[in-house]
Amino acid sequence: MKKKIIPLLIAGTALIAACDQKTDTSSAPAVAKTDAIAVVNGQYISKATLEQLEKEIAERGHGQTFPKEKLIEELIQRELLVQDALQKQLDKSPEVMAQLDSVKKTLLTQADVQNFIKANPVTDAEIKAEYDSKVAGENGTEYKARHILVKTEAEAKKLITELDKGADFAKLANKHSLDAKESQNGGDLGWFVAGQMVAPFSEAVVKLEKGKYTKTPVQTQFGWHVILREDSRAQTPPPLESVKEQLMPYLQRKKVQNMVEKLRKQAKVEILVPLTDEPPKAPAAGNAATEKPVAEEIVVEEVKDAKGKTVAEGVAVEEVVEEKAPAVAKETAKATKSAAKKAPKKTEKAVSPETK
């Protein structure tokens, strides 16, 4: 984006500016001259509007800034368009009124969620309790292992015979393993927890003693494995401070969901449309050969936003409560596993023939 051109970057800001500067001052707070940056045909543009535009551009443009005179000119052009639209009474058209109502509901939803979070902040005690139950409370085991991956069971059995005769595991992996031929890492998988590996592989590792290798090949969807368990250790959970920022948005979202569920239980709701689609009707017997097939016409009513995009219920809640933390089981498991720095990112890659 060039700094010369200032498009209507933020739809929300444009709408706020429009509503703020309406000629009908009964629905918008009056702007004093001392709090304005410009006046257009008698209508003041507030300093707050400029500050909001600067903030939104910085957030969306990753810190990018524009000269103040360019931003002021942008707001002046917006105000001119608003005044022109009001003069043409476009604000009274059914299409615009429906869109404004949709935007208003979205803003009110966001405001209600923000107000709730402000009135019900997540406490340090709640974060500590979540950490103790979901992170620190997990007493798992990490394993360090190597493996040799080949295509057939016969190949794997031959390698086990060579190991029985005293062959070096890492050298065999570098020579024969589909995972180690190019990497020459001796089939090293680093540290991992059993859940990171596919079931047959993890089960074999858990059963092995330290320093032992599998006496029979282990089959997975990737091929046949010979596995050496080198070591194991108790899983060390990450410190509270390192996962605090991950737990905070999850707990905020949990509180908001509880609040919404409470409102839902207290409300009188009647659903007026079928919740399941009816199966298509079969053509009448005797007419199948003579009648042409008729495609069913399905009409779906959609709620559009100011940009003409479909608005889905609940989007506002997701925008306000940051979507940084998924279900707690996944999030806390991720935080817990962060101590295993050498563990492969994905199980499938760790034991897959495609791994390089």
Same domain, 39 and 103: no
Q: In the 3-class helix/strand/coil scheme, how is 2-51 assigned residue by residue?
A: CCCCCCCCCHHHHHHHHHHCCCCHHHCCCCCHHHEEEEECCEEEEHHHHH
Same domain, 72 and 212: no
Same domain, 83 and 118: no
Assessment of whether the complete model's pTM goes beyond 0.85: no
Give every strand in the sheet of 141-150, ordered side by side.
188-193, 141-150, 223-234, 218-220
Same domain, 85 and 1: yes
Same domain, 184 and 248: no
Other Cβ atoms within 10 Å of 118 Cβ, number: 8
Give me 354's structure tokens: 């495609």
Q: Which domain holds residue 110?
A: 93-122+238-263+306-336
Residues of the chain with pLDDT under 70: 1-29, 137-139, 280-356
Q: Tell the burial category of 229 from Cβ atoms under 10 Å away from its Cβ (0-12, 13-18, 19+).
A: buried
Give me 216's structure tokens: 């029979």
Domain boundary among 90, 114, 149: 90
State how many domains the chain has. Answer: 3
Dist. CA 10–CA 75, nearest whole Å: 12
Please state the length of the chain. Answer: 356
Identify the three-state secondary structure at position 116.
helix
How high is the pLDDT of residue 139? 63
- What's the one-letter identity of residue 55? K
Same domain, 254 and 201: no
How high is the pLDDT of residue 135? 78
Q: Are 179 and 223 in contact (CB under 8 A)?
A: no
Dist. CA 343–CA 356, nearest whole Å: 15
How many CA within 13 A on the CB side of residue 168? 5
Dist. CA 261–CA 255, nearest whole Å: 10
Identify the three-state secondary structure at position 69.
helix
Dist. CA 195–CA 185, nearest whole Å: 23
Dist. CA 323–CA 319, nearest whole Å: 7
Same domain, 16 and 35: yes
What does the radius of gyration of the chain's CA atoms come to, in whole angstroms?
31
